[in-house]
Amino acid sequence: MIETNYGSIVEKLDQIDPIKYAKNRNFLWGSVTQLSPYVARGVISTKQIRESLLSRGFTDQRCERFFQQLAWRDYFQRTAQVHPNLSRKNIKNDPTHFRGNDISKSILESDTGIDALDEGIDDLKDHGWVHNHMRMYLAMLHGNVARCYWHTGARWMYYHLLDADMASNDLSWQWVTGANANKLYFANQENINKYCSSKQRGTYLDVDYDQFYRFQCPEMLQETTALNLEPSATWIRQFSSEWSIKNPNELVLEKGEEVLLYTINNLDPKWRTQHTGSRILLLDAKELEERPMGRNTLDFILNLSENLADNVQIVFGSFDDLAATHPDCTWIFKEHPSQQYRGVEDSRDWMYPEVTGYFPSFFGFWKKAMKSIK
């Protein structure tokens, strides 16, 4: 079971080895941190991770490869601020190789014929986390081999991920499938064997790379089906009694009160600790309807909420309903590109706060970030 105690989560920062990470991060067994679920939920920040390493005597130069990979999350968030409809809109290109909006039944059933990827799909569904390389492989399989529209696959993966973040997830899928890159990403069986420590041969991916652009969808992936995800509301109703989840009209708030608003993207126990008014964790019904999360992710979020102050009330409803029911309250929240709230907005804890706006490439963003710390 994944750790949800804040003290234990913070202790993980001292276990980061950026030198080993730089050497083997691409392998499924590599020295990755697996901190992404806590960053996505706002329990810790990319800034906090960087500062932790600097406080241990590391430098930006020694940690460059690690910080560079960490900064992708901030880069995606900055991109989403400028392109808020990225879940429905291609950023750079409109790929023409997709054959439909469904998803391969073989992918849903972990029966793709590629053993390492089937194991990855099972891990995703059962545990809610897979290595970044595995995410790229699965996006490639869905979008570029089975040739199904990237958005469907992105919704499927987001539903299962504990670190589900719309910007990081969707922009990564766009990159793999050519909507936010100059070419499609492919990995053959040799590449998969190398990074997954598998030995499978003779599959439909056991080809040279120059064959991929003449590649037809393999028979094993041809049968597709509509993606039907159980609504988040179903799981929240199951949790409602255990966690005392309320509707907006069941809240009792003082007229004119300043209310601290936690969200699925901000569960920071150290945020505004001196606040004396009400505190609410909003499970935003509108956001969860547009982009559902599965049972494991919602359970993870609720368990993380135990790190917050004792007086936090959990509410399931839209922000608009909350604001309409309590029109005299002032809402205080942290910025996030998926939220369109009204009130007092605190800044996210950015690694490089001076670097703002949209950059067509990550390396343009990274170059500006490096200048900001000199």
At residue 239, the pLDDT reads 97
What is the bridge-based pairing of β-strands 103-104 and 279-284?
unpaired
Q: For residue 215, is pLDDT > 90?
A: no
For 330-342, what is each residue's pLDDT tens digit?
999 999 998 889 9
For 277-319, what is each residue's pLDDT tens digit?
999 999 999 999 999 999 999 999 999 999 999 999 999 999 9
Would you say 212 and 125 are in contact if contact means Cβ atoms under 8 Å apart?
A: no
DSSP conformational letter for 309:
-
- The length of the chain in residues reads 374
Q: Return all residues near 178 (Cβ < 8 A) that are at least 6 apart.
A: 93, 95, 97, 144, 184
What are residue 224's DSSP bridge partners? 104
Q: For residue 1, is pLDDT > 70?
A: no
Q: Give me the CATH topology for the region 6-82+357-372.
A: 1.25.40
At residue 312, the pLDDT reads 96
For 110-163, what is each residue's pLDDT tens digit?
999 999 999 999 999 999 999 999 999 999 999 999 999 999 999 999 999 999
Can you tell me which residue has the tokens 């190398």? Answer: 194
At residue 285, the pLDDT reads 97
Q: Return all residues near 327 (Cβ < 8 A) that are at least 6 apart.
A: none
What architecture does CATH give domain 103-225?
Orthogonal Bundle (1.10)
Q: Would you report the helix, strand and coil content of the chain in percent, each value rounded to 5?
A: 45, 10, 45
Q: E strands along 201-318, which residues?
A: 224-225, 258-263, 279-284, 312-317
At residue 274, the pLDDT reads 94
Q: Where are the domains of the chain?
A: 6-82+357-372, 103-225, 232-342
Would you say 348 and 315 are in contact if contact means Cβ atoms under 8 Å apart?
A: no
* Burial bucket for residue 10 (CB in 10 Å: 0-12, 13-18, 19+): middle
